[in-house]
Structure 1
């Protein structure tokens, strides 16, 4: 029997990450935390996914924010 993964991104799609972050912080709050155009101007999940899949540095920032959000949730 294997132990569950400690990686907060394990089994989570990029779409789930963006959707959960947008739900938690709102698009404005998300744009303040990760200031990228796809969050600042006419944001949507599909446009964000398109940009993040092509832009590794932005995806890394979004995934780091999600991991921090998950860790905060586990500590409360």
Structure 2
């Protein structure tokens, strides 16, 4: 097999907290952490405010890059909050 025919190896991103996560996992984690009401206040989109569900959110976010960026940003913020809280508890 020549170099051209070899499948590309996946890019390793050890420092990217979003690497390997599905959008579904991100939305589920945010909904569990904040609840749909607060999630809708933090990111005011219809899929979080009117009859919210993971499925409707995924359909919207897959078609709306700006909203997906906001969701991913909030997820990273949530991870930082959790990390800070864990650091305070160990002191």
Provide the TM-score with structure 1 as the length reference.
Answer: 0.90
3-state DSSP class of the match of 2:14? coil
Of residues 43, 46, 64, the one that matches 2:52 is 43
How far off its partner does 1:72 sit? 1.6
Q: Based on CA coordinates, which of the two structures has the bigger radius of gyration?
A: 2
- Write out per-residue CA displacement over residues 31-74 of structure 1, whole angstroms, 9 at most, x where no aligned residue: 00000000000000000000000000000000000011112212
Pairing of 1:1-76 with structure 2 (within 5 A): 5-76=14-85
Which residue in 1 is equivalent to 2:9?
A: none
The 4+ residue runs of structure 1 with deviation greater than 4 A are: none
Unaligned runs of 5+ in 1: none
Higher-RCO chain (CA-CA 8 Å, sequence separation at least 6): 1
Q: In 1, distance between residues paired with 2:14 and 2:77?
A: 16
Structure 2 residue ranges without an equivalent (≥5): 1-12, 86-91
More helix by share: 1
Cα RMSD of the aligned pairs, angstroms, is 1.5
